[in-house]
Structure 1
Amino acid sequence: MGFDCASKKEMQQILQLGVSPKRIIFASPRKTEDHITYTHEQGIDKIVIDSEDELRELAKIVPSATVFLRLRADNPTSRVRLSEKFGLDVPEARVMLQVAVDLSVKVTVYEYNETLPSKHPISIIDIGGGFTETNFRLVAPAVRSAVDMYLGGETSIQWVAELGRFIVSEAFYLVCRVLGTRKHLIGYVDGPNKNHYITAMWSYL
């Protein structure tokens, strides 16, 4: 088991528990120079990047780091639309890969790029999270099938899944008073009627 940390404080807490720095990924969507320096000082060498500015900053401070490029996976039915917050489209990722080559930064990324096969061999794939006890039983076989189909059962790749919700989603119940609700338009899907809207319900507590 590893730990996905989004802040310096989280990294400090995990390190204080005696966890090896090699089991920590620093995945904040935006990092200060101080935080990047801290990861280097503590021996944390896996860092998630999704902007060219951060990649260039990282190359100056920790050129030996292993970089994860966060790809955007748009899912309009997702409960939380994290793709609107961070992540790279495939064309953006291709540009970032070339920048990484120019900066001599090691990148681990889920994207086969025929123009850069030897520069960025894939060694780790992080498929993200959002798993629950209910959907995990459906998702796990689908992931295994996709691995066999698209990667030919590749055994040299290390797979990472973020199981935070799976572990704690049933840990407690929250009881509160709902003052009101409102439907929120989050997108639409073209269909026979051309007006299939996707909405989410916001609750005000």
Structure 2
Amino acid sequence: MMSTDFGKITRVHNIPKDEMANLIRSIAAEKHEAGQPFYILDLSTVERLMDKWSHSFPNVKPFYAVKCNNEPALLTKLANLGANFDCASLLEIDTVLNLGISPNQIIFANPCKAISHIKHAAAVGVNFTTFDSKLEVDKIKKWHPQCRLLLRIKAPSDSGSLRPLGKKFGALPEEIEPLLHYACNVAGLKVVGVSFHVGSIAQDPTIYREAIANARAVFDVADYLGIPKMQILNIGGGFRSTPLFEEIASVVNEAVPDFFPDPNLKIIAEPGRFFPETAFTLVTHVIGKRARGEKIEYWIDEGIYGSFRPTLYNSCFVGIKPISMKECCDIRESTIYGPSCDSLDAVAVDIKLPELELDDLIVFYDMGAYSKCAGTKFNGFDMLSTPTYIVSTNST
């Protein structure tokens, strides 16, 4: 059964998946003219993904990376399912706290923080963060000395990910002992564990084992320095809901007891796209069309200055489905442009589509990761205000 009360946030329960196209048409017809794209968030997908995480990683607590998608309904659902949160800024912290989530459920997982953000974390009770430099120790010592710390180390090899992070973040092997000594024995702060991140969209499961082995070496250095026993291992992110996820989980689950036989070790992670990527669908309208020979060019009401900005780097993950208001016709070579006056604003180039008309819909699936959150107001198109409709589908 479907609700027809399409407010900005609409809760629709028990929608069979084969009715999703009808739901999309209904929302478009009742509330959205061309020029007004919208999202649909399927909370049942989020539930299934949490079940998948819990099955694959029974001993790893997820701290969802808020930067990936800060939709309040998503954050609330994840909190209700038992997730904690990885925040990188003052605003992200407040976004989570304003939903009634406890500050104890937040890690301030940014190794380099502005002083004002550190002060705010102290004021609101976020007492868990990362660091990878001596100056960061000094800032934390002065402005948030009760904070617990994780030493962020550089992953041994992040060439197996689509977006490596090691160039910007993580202490090098030769920096680890001086940093631990300075943070604990000089500044008197509490370093309670180690953090690493192999890079976004990991492609090689074996790099997790290598990173866990390096984390073990850091724990050993801490023991050598007489630092109180560290108890937390943060394995970062890099996860997607694909078959590779199961391989990564298997590698991690084997590596942890090999290098950390202590049953009291607490393991956490910072998944981002794993939870929202497949849960969000973006619906756009055809607002323009031009035929050039055998090729058709379309303009839609979203583009690279909105939800498609990050997909320039991972567009292969996005699924496209046209919804025409008439019976389908010839398949044509097509290009889809966004609405701005930038000639680079091309969403999809040289793809096969049935010929569409003005006001027809083009639906983009798996659009929940780093999409709306990266939107801008470039050229006067406000991609930050794209509404989200909340639904719940059954498993059929």
TM over 0.5: yes
Greater relative CO (CA pairs within 8 A, separation 6+):
2
Is residue 165 of structure 1 aligned with residue 273 of structure 2?
Answer: yes
Counterpart Cα distance in 1 of 2:85 and 2:94: 12
SS across alignment from 1:96: helix
Distance change >3 Å, CA 35–CA 174, structure 1 → 2: farther
Which deviations, in whole Å up to 9, do the C-alpha atoms of 1:64-111 show, x marking residues without a partner?
A: 110111111032121001111111112212111010121100002332
Alignment of 1:18-167 (within 5 A): 18-73=100-155, 74-100=157-183, 101-110=185-194, 111-112=218-219, 113=221, 114-116=223-225, 118-134=226-242, 135-152=244-261, 154-167=262-275
SS across alignment from 2:274: helix
Counterpart Cα distance in 2 of 1:130 and 1:77: 10
Contact kept, 8 Å, 2:118 with 2:144, in 1: the verdict is yes
Counterpart Cα distance in 2 of 1:174 and 1:68: 38
Which structure: larger Rg? 2
Counterpart Cα distance in 2 of 1:33 and 1:161: 25
Q: 1:177 aligns with which of 339, 344, 348?
A: 348
Is residue 12 of structure 1 aligned with residue 107 of structure 2?
Answer: no
What is the TM-score of this pair, normalised by structure 1? 0.80
Counterpart Cα distance in 2 of 1:121 and 1:29: 22
Contact kept, 8 Å, 2:111 with 2:152, in 1: the verdict is no
- Structure with higher strand content: 2
Q: Which runs of 4+ in 1 moved over 2 A?
A: 171-175
Matched residue count: 177
Counterpart Cα distance in 2 of 1:163 and 1:27: 12
Cα offset, 1:159, TM superposition: 0.7
Contact kept, 8 Å, 2:111 with 2:136, in 1: the verdict is no
SS across alignment from 1:60: helix
SS across alignment from 1:139: helix
SS across alignment from 1:85: coil
Distance change >3 Å, CA 42–CA 147, structure 1 → 2: same
Cα offset, 1:28, TM superposition: 2.2
SS across alignment from 1:87: coil
Match of residue 72 from structure 2: none
Cα offset, 1:150, TM superposition: 1.1
SS across alignment from 1:47: strand
Q: Structure 1, unaligned stretches of length 5 or more?
A: 180-205
Which deviations, in whole Å up to 9, do the C-alpha atoms of 1:8-54 show, x marking residues without a partner?
A: 11000000011110110112242111110100000100011111111
What is the TM-score of this pair, normalised by structure 2? 0.43
Cα offset, 1:146, TM superposition: 0.7
How well do the aligned residues superpose, as a CA RMSD in angstroms? 1.7
Contact kept, 8 Å, 2:158 with 2:165, in 1: the verdict is no
Which deviations, in whole Å up to 9, do the C-alpha atoms of 1:111-161 show, x marking residues without a partner?
A: 221422x41411111000111122221111211111111112x22111101
Letter in 1 for 2:168: K
Name which of structure 1's ranges 169-178 and 40-49 shifts more when overlaid on structure 2.
169-178
Letter in 1 for 2:113: K
Percentage identity across aligned positions?
33
SS across alignment from 1:25: strand
Contact kept, 8 Å, 2:88 with 2:110, in 1: the verdict is yes
Counterpart Cα distance in 2 of 1:92 and 1:178: 46
Letter in 1 for 2:159: P
Counterpart Cα distance in 1 of 2:260 and 2:349: 47
Counterpart Cα distance in 2 of 1:162 and 1:58: 22
